[in-house]
Amino acid sequence: MKKRIVVALGGNAILTTDPSARGQQKALAHTSYYLADFIEAGHELIITHGNGPQVGNLLLQQQLSATDKNPAMPVDTAVAMTQGSIGYWLENALVDELKKRNISKNVATLLTQVVVSETDPAFQVPSKPIGPFLSKEEMEAEKKQTAATYVEDAGRGFRKVVPSPNPIDIVEYPVIEQLVENGVVTIAGGGGGIPVVIKNGTYYGVEAVIDKDFASEKIAELVQADMLVILTGVDHVSINYNQPNQSELTNVTVADMEKYIVENQFAPGSMLPKVLAAITFIKENNNGKAVITSLENIKNLLEEETGTIITA
């Protein structure tokens, strides 16, 4: 049976060890090989994606070349720029994969604005890592040139952090619905969306990055998706991770996951946002289903419903 599915791509689906345009295009060709299975199975597909490394690198390039006559662009504009570049790569890669399967399907990338609140507490506590990992020496050198905040991230070095407010609304969600209803595979909400606030009925960009899993949930909620699929680096979410009694979660309920959250089973900067987004989607759409799994497990998900599947 045809379903409307929102798939949120993790960073490893776009950027591997080669940050060049060619390297990221190669990664997205690999990603498209798996995504095409949803389309071949007859489902309506909306694709969202992260942009943490890309927007961070772009901001760094902007800062290094900035002059009075050629100033660096702000974060919201950088998010829009990476929505365009990643969407362009993904769109072409997916069309090529569909041609190989003799599937004629239009694919479109939609610049997506996401409404946040000016009073969101996140603006007082920057927390969302963007850009490359830096050594302590590199971080100290960067801090001398910018007022940015840096934190140690996952034991792999220091990264710049910016505010990460919660999404309230998706400006273009009616357009996403129209595209999908007309058979267009839609790439939207890239990088969590362009963060905007509303003042006197007008949208204004703000210096922030929205978590792509929360933005993906909001899109799935508003377009009344049947399923939200959040892709990550593992086939299943686990409890007691990296311990002798590690256990993979398969079919679980919202109540199960909320209990595990209380037990601090999920890392705040890694799996927790994905779990919270999945829970929110189920609560807003009681008949919906949320799945957290890997890109490589998509075929098994479609054929055997394997992965971490969360229901009410």
Structure-block tokens of residue 175: 């357009």
Query: Torsions phi, psi of 180, nearest 5?
Result: -65, -40
Find the Cα–Cα–Cα–Cα dihedral 267, 193, 96, 25, rounded to 10°. Answer: -60
Spatial separation of the C-alpha atoms in residues 134 and 122, rounded to whole Å: 23
SS3 229: strand
Which of 160, 212, 218, 289 does the annotation list as catalytic? Answer: 212
pTM score of the predicted model: 0.91
Question: Which residues are within 8 A (CB) of 172 and not within 5 positions of it... i.e. 6 or more apart?
Answer: 110, 111, 112, 113, 188
Does residue 11 carry a catalytic annotation? yes
Burial of 27 from C-beta contacts in 10 A (0-12 / 13-18 / 19+): buried
- 221 close to 4: Cβ distance less than 8 angstroms: no
Instruction: Give the pLDDT of residue 26.
Output: 94
Instruction: Give the pLDDT of residue 66.
Output: 79
Spatial separation of the C-alpha atoms in residues 267 and 64, rounded to whole Å: 33
Spatial separation of the C-alpha atoms in residues 78 and 34, rounded to whole Å: 28
Which of 87, 274, 285, 297 does the annotation list as catalytic? Answer: 274
Residue 229: how many other CB atoms lie within 10 Å = 26
Spatial separation of the C-alpha atoms in residues 5 and 47, rounded to whole Å: 8
Question: Pairing state of beta strands 44-49 and 185-187?
Answer: parallel
Which domains does the chain possess? 4-113+184-193+209-310 (3.40.1160.10)
Digit-coded pLDDT (tens) for 72-101: 888 999 999 999 999 999 999 999 999 999
Does residue 136 carry a catalytic annotation? no
Instruction: Give the pLDDT of residue 71.
Output: 87
Which of 12, 92, 166, 300 does the annotation list as catalytic? Answer: 12
Spatial separation of the C-alpha atoms in residues 237 and 23, rounded to whole Å: 28
Instruction: Give the pLDDT of residue 42.
Output: 96
Which of 128, 160, 218, 289 does the annotation list as catalytic? Answer: 128
- 56 close to 131: Cβ distance less than 8 angstroms: yes
63: amino acid identity, one letter: Q
Does residue 212 carry a catalytic annotation? yes
SS3 67: coil
Does residue 69 carry a catalytic annotation? no
- 187 close to 108: Cβ distance less than 8 angstroms: yes
SS3 109: strand
Instruction: Give the pLDDT of residue 153.
Output: 77
Instruction: Give the pLDDT of residue 108.
Output: 98
Instruction: Give the pLDDT of residue 279.
Output: 97
- 169 close to 36: Cβ distance less than 8 angstroms: no
- 249 close to 239: Cβ distance less than 8 angstroms: yes
Spatial separation of the C-alpha atoms in residues 295 and 10, rounded to whole Å: 9
Does residue 182 carry a catalytic annotation? no
The number of C-alpha atoms within 13 Å of 270 and in the hemisphere containing its C-beta is: 14
List of the chain residues with pLDDT < 50: none
